[in-house]
Amino acid sequence: MKSLKNWLMLALLALSLGLSAQAMADKASKPFAEKRVVLQISDPNPFKQTLVLNVANNLLKHYGPDKVDIEIVAFGPGLRLLFADNANKGRIKRLVENGGVRFSACSNTIRNMGKKLGHPPVLNPNAVKVSAGVVRILDLVDQGYVLIKP
């Protein structure tokens, strides 16, 4: 029993250390950023894909890549934006390479879509899996990010 308690304590410690490290890493990628923005894409409308990428692009143009930190979190039907063959893959690549934009993919959605597809969807190499899209957004908001849902 004592041993189980120790393991749980250890696990909680590791989790909190991990989250802290992740939070530090989020901000560390843009140490001089004056604005921190999380963009949500969860809509099935393809126009929203274009819109969210446009917003990210406009933020980068306005503030400059070093002054704004952007993460796009995709979950639900919006996860299609991060499919490997998505027609916007070129724009995503440019936003990552030129603007340091991060893309997060919801693992819950990946799992559910995998059930419908019969196999897990193949994701864009620039997408980073997070446990749950909505949790990721809440964590970023807690860290001071402003949530925008175009």
Least distance to another protein from the beta carbon of 74, Å?
Answer: 11
Query: Token pair of 143, please?
Result: 């860290």
74 contributes a contact to another protein by CB under 8 A: no
Contacting residues for 22 by C-beta, under 8 A, at least 6 apart: 139
> Looking at 87, 128, 141, 146, which residue binds another protein (CB under 8 A)?
87
150 contributes a contact to another protein by CB under 8 A: no
56 contributes a contact to another protein by CB under 8 A: no
Least distance to another protein from the beta carbon of 85, Å?
Answer: 4
Q: DSSP letters of 81-131?
A: GGBTT-TTHHHHHHHHHHH--EEEEEHHHHHHHHHHHSSPPPBPTTEEEES
> Looking at 113, 127, 130, 137, which residue binds another protein (CB under 8 A)?
113
